[in-house]
Every structure is written in structure tokens, then in C-alpha cells.
Structure 1
Amino acid sequence: MTYKILHRKWLLRKWMWTLMPLELAGLVPLLVLFGIAQPDLYRTKLWEVGHAYGFNSNPKMILYAYANYEPYPKVPFVWTRTLTDFNVAISVITLFLLLTKLVAFIMKFWFPLLAAGINVAMVALYTVSVYGQMGPDHADPRYPSSIAWYIAKSCDYARPFSAYKSCQLAKGTFAVTVYMLALYLANLGIALYVLWPNAGDKVDGDEDDDGRGSSDGSSPVDYAKEGREWEMRDWHAKGGPASPRVGVVPYTPRTQAFHTLDRKLPLRQQYG
């Protein structure tokens, strides 16, 4: 049993082709939602709404720290500009990765080992994004929050502050991010399944992704063999030589050498 680390056959090709359009369907709205959220479309607004109800810390804590000459407070990750920029970055990376994966999969360069490593990285990135969007916020001990209020609660709380649509955008962004995380977990599962030893490792010889041998007529050697076969078929169909340069009986340079040693000139005797 020979285990191939790099060149392994994709056992679930149909699932791979199914996941790609699903990724595109989630990536397009994600690019739009992350893009319009930058730099601060609704982040600070939702922070203020949550503090008004006692759901999270006060967004003015930074101003209070400056006014009282106190150290810069640690802002919860959910309310930082870093999270917003991070989300935009992973959406662009996802777009580039999807295009690269499509081309590499068609060209048969998307190896399972490479796919597993990349999917692990993407799962980690989207996990950070999901964690950042859902909280927690423990900056103020008086108003601790384990999950951001706009995810755990209804957006009706934002209506008095004219932030209802902003709350819906935040909820939708979180939902699409979870959707993309689930897709990359599925991709990772497929890659690990293909990397696991299977019955295909017992088959000797190189096989392509369709389960056929290398002699499928696609290599230069196969084309050369096919050309020689058609040449012989054409010669038999015509029943004789196609030109004076070909004898009735095909001969090789070695045969010509034997005729020369015998002081015979087969072409002159035949066509003379």
C-alpha cells in the first residue's frame, strides 16, 4: 500500500464543484457588507445604543480617559476599527483565493494537502471575524456583555435612535460570515477526508482525477502512438506504398543496411 502525500485523487469532486458557487454566493454580499461598514458606518452608533440600554460599555470612555489623564482604555474588539479593517481584508483574500482555487482545480494543481493548509487558515480567519462581531464586551464591570446586543437581542431597541437599519446590516453581516465559516469547514472536511488513507492508495501506477490511467490519449507519447497506428492503417487501406519512397514491404534502416551489404538496391530494382 503506497500512500501519496501530494498527488492524491480528489474523491469528492462533485462536492468541490458544488461548494464553489456557494462560496461565490456568500462572497458577493460579504464584500458589499464589509465594504460599506468601513470605516464606521454603524459600529459606534450601535455601541451608543447598547450603552443607552445598559447592554455594553460606554463609547465615551476614551474621551473620559483623555480628560482625566488616565491610561488609554482597552476598547473591546467588537467596537474597534481593527475588526472592521480585518473583515474587509479577509473578504478580499477570499475573492482572490476563490479565483485561484478555481483555476488550480481545473489545471489539477489544487492538491489536497495544499487545500487542507489553506482551509485551516481561512477557518481561523473567519472564526476570528465571527468572534469579533459577536463580542464580548467587559470593558465596564457595571455593564458586562458576553454577546453583542445587536446579535442577541431584537433590532427594535434601535428604532428610537434611528439605527434600525444599521442593526439589520450588522445582523446580516454576522449571518453571512457564519455562512462562509461553515463553507470553509466543509472544504476542510473534504480535504482531510481525501488525505486520509483510502482504497485508492492500493492501486499501483499513476491515475488522474477521473480514475483513468495515464494512457488516455492526452500525453505526447499517446499522440505519437496514435499517429503511427493511423499511418499503418492508411498504408494497409491503400494496399501499397503512397509514394516511391515507401516499399511494398516496410523496412527499417537496419533492413536497408542488410540490402547494402548484399549489394542490392531495392528501390532501383523495384522502380527501375
Structure 2
Amino acid sequence: MGRFFLPRKWRMPKLVLGLIIFEFPFTVANLALFGIAAPNTYRTVLWRVGGELGFNSDPSEVAYAAYNYQKMEIPLVWSSLNTNYNMYIGVVCMFFYLIKFTLWLLHIFYPIISLILHVCLAALWAASLYIQTAPDTVDPAHQNKGAPWYITKSCNIVSDQTERGYCMQAKSAFAVSLIMLITYAIFIGLSIWSLIPTPEARAAHDSKVAEKKAEKELYASSPYDQEMTAEEQWQHMWELQQLPRTPGTATGHAPWAKVPATPRTTAFNQLQGAPIPQAHQEYYAQPGSPMVAPPQQQQTHSPPQQTYDPPQQTYFPPQQTYSPPQQTYFPPPGQVPHESVGYAGVAPQGQQEYDEYLYDGKGKGTAM
């Protein structure tokens, strides 16, 4: 059982890459040539030219038989299947070529995939070559049991330039079809050769099988896995995933999900006389719990109540004293100030200061 395996590496990867690159221009040429030929660009023309030269039947005979209600089949090589089928093959080959090249770039174009793909494509091209070389025996006087004349003979026997060009296109399409079939046959041979394992590949496979077997035995020998069923293991793994990575950062119904605590934290709190938090009492009160405090050591501690009295502050507005500006009076020229004249803001020595100047109670001034 372990000795049978399918290698995933090619024997000659450079040759495979060269074939992939070599296939691309012929795939494009095949698609172009049969696209031009479809649906009936030159098929009937070549049939008529071959009938005139006596190489095969003439299309007028088929038309004459149909006009007289006589049954006369169209030869397969001159039927519409010849051009339409090959055009469809060209589209399919281009599609699978893009897939094949993508798989090669991704390093997953294994020999087994190449074998299956190229066997199918080679079968399509073999059928295409059979249709292109089908015999023409509908006319007893002009029977052709081999390939049509444009393949077996030179195109120079035709005098008309347009008909000669059609002959060369049909000959090129047949040559491209043959090259495609040969390319796929080489792919099939390389795939089969690469699927035969070498001694080095077989040894590497045996070592890999031995490693997997050892891992399986190690997994089966675990007593933990033997005690739990597959469903219980899945449930356990699911519960482990639900645990928070950091205590107290996740929400849940477990005691540690609300208040972060460890056995060491609880032990030191009990030694200092701190009570067990309410969220942990149910957990630590269970039988078998590592941190169950004896009844006589459990104390009830009420934290001191503190009252905060904000300081009283009294606001005293700043006192301001207004001092009027001092003014100096200068009398007009020619006048001598009287000794008893007082000026606003400036009073003589030993006298009271007035807002208005006075003349001993006489004149315009008035006593204040």
C-alpha cells in the first residue's frame, strides 16, 4: 500500500517548458487558419478544382443527384464538419493552453494532470486528421481512397492565383494539425516516463510515510486522547478558545473573566487579612480547589470609610485708593498771585486744600 505513489516532479522539466513554449505559436496559427476556413471559405472551391482535374468527385454531381431526388452523400473530407470541427478544436486547445501555462507557473502542473489532458487533446487531433484525410468514393469514375489532392500534390498545378492560395492555406492547416498531434504525443511520453518513480523518489516517499506513521502512533499513544472521545476533545478545544488571553480583559461568566486574580494573588491577600472577592468565593469554595481557606482564617474586613471635606476659601477683593492728579496753576502774565489764593490739588502751607481757588471770601469765588 505505501509503496505505490504518483511522483509530482518531471524527469526533464526544461524539455517540458520548451514544449510549452513551442506549442504556443502553432496553437495560434491553428486557430487563425481554421478560423479563416470556417464556415466555407475555400472547401467547395478545392472540391470543384479537384473534380475538374479528375482527382476526386465533382460537387455538381451531388447537386444533380439532389435535383433528381437521388441519394448521394457528401464526402466527409468536403463536408462542413471538416472546417467547423477543426475551428472548435483550435478554441479548445487555446483555452487549455492558458490553463496549462498557468499551472506550470504555479508549480502544480503535475505529470498525472499532463497525461490526462494531453491524451484527450491528442484524441481530438487524431480525429481531426482522419477527417482531413478521409476518402472520396461517391463517384465511381473518380475515386480517391487517400488524402485529398491539395495534401498529396503541389499547389502549382493550379493556374489561378486565388485557388493556389486556398490550396496553400489548406495544406498549412493540415501541417499545423500534424505538428499539434506530435507535440501532444511527446507530452504523453514525458508524462508516462515521469510517473515511473526513481529510487531516490521512492526513498523520499518511504521516509515521508514513516514520519507520518510515527506521528500517528505518537498521537494514538497519548493517554489524554484515549480518555476523551472525539466529541469531548472538540468541546474541550472550543472551551480553551473561549478563555481570555489576558485575565480580566474579556467578559464572561467565569470568575476570572470579571476580576483578574491568580492563586498567588489570592494567597497573599488572605495572609494580609483581605477577604476573598465575591466573584471568586464560589470558585474557591469548590472541593479540590487549590486555594480554599479554612473557616477560622476567613475574616470579614470592611474598608475604612473616608469623607472628603473640601477646603473653605474666602475671597477678599483687592482694596484700591484713588488719588486725583495734581495740577499746577500758572497765573496770566502781569498778575501776581495772592498769598491767600488756593489752587485745586495744591494748598498753601498750613491751610486747607480746596477744589476751587478763593480770594478771601471776595470776588467770584465762594467758600467751600
Structure 2 length as normaliser, TM-score? 0.53
The RMSD of aligned alpha carbons is 2.3
Q: Is the 8 A contact 1:150 1:167 kept in 2?
A: yes
Q: Which residue of 2 aligns with 1:245?
A: none
| 1:186-232 Cα shifts (integer Å, max 9, x gaps) | 111111111224322232345xxxxxxxxxxxxxxxxxxxxxxxxxx
Q: Structure 2: which amino acid aligns with 1:56?
A: N
1:75: Cα distance to partner?
Answer: 1.7
1:144: Cα distance to partner?
Answer: 1.5
Residue 107 (str. 1) matches residue 106 (str. 2): yes
Residues paired across the two proteins, number: 210
Q: Which residue of 2 aligns with 1:202?
A: 203
| Paired residue secondary structure (1:60) | helix
Q: Is the 8 A contact 1:30 1:176 kept in 2?
A: yes
| 1:44-96 Cα shifts (integer Å, max 9, x gaps) | 0000010111101121233122211122x222221111111111111111111
Q: Which residue of 2 aligns with 1:126?
A: 125
2: distance between equivalents of 1:201 and 1:136?
A: 50
| 1:108-147 Cα shifts (integer Å, max 9, x gaps) | 3323222111111111111121222233212222211111
| 1:3-27 Cα shifts (integer Å, max 9, x gaps) | 313x522222111111111110111
2: distance between equivalents of 1:77 and 1:131?
A: 10
Q: Which residue of 2 aligns with 1:175?
A: 175
Q: Which residue of 2 aligns with 1:135?
A: 134
The answer for unaligned runs of 5 or more in structure 1 is 207-258, 265-272
1:33: Cα distance to partner?
Answer: 0.6
Equivalent positions of 1:1-272 (< 5 A) are 2-5=3-6, 8-71=8-71, 73-145=72-144, 146-160=146-160, 162-199=162-199, 200-204=201-205, 205=207
Higher relative contact order (CA 8 A, sep 6+): 1
2: distance between equivalents of 1:42 and 1:56?
A: 16
2: distance between equivalents of 1:24 and 1:133?
A: 22
Counting aligned pairs with the same residue, the percent is: 33
Spell out structure 1 runs of 4+ moving beyond 4 A. none
Deviates most, 45-54 or 124-133: 124-133
> Higher helix share goes to which structure?
1
Closer, same or farther in 2 for the Cα pair 1:42/1:58, shift >3 Å?
same
Q: Structure 1: which amino acid aligns with 2:64?
A: Y
Q: Structure 2: which amino acid aligns with 1:29?
A: A
Q: Structure 2: which amino acid aligns with 1:112?
A: P
| Paired residue secondary structure (1:159) | coil
| 1:232-257 Cα shifts (integer Å, max 9, x gaps) | xxxxxxxxxxxxxxxxxxxxxxxxxx
2: distance between equivalents of 1:142 and 1:201?
A: 64
1:160: Cα distance to partner?
Answer: 4.2
Deviates most, 158-167 or 146-155: 158-167
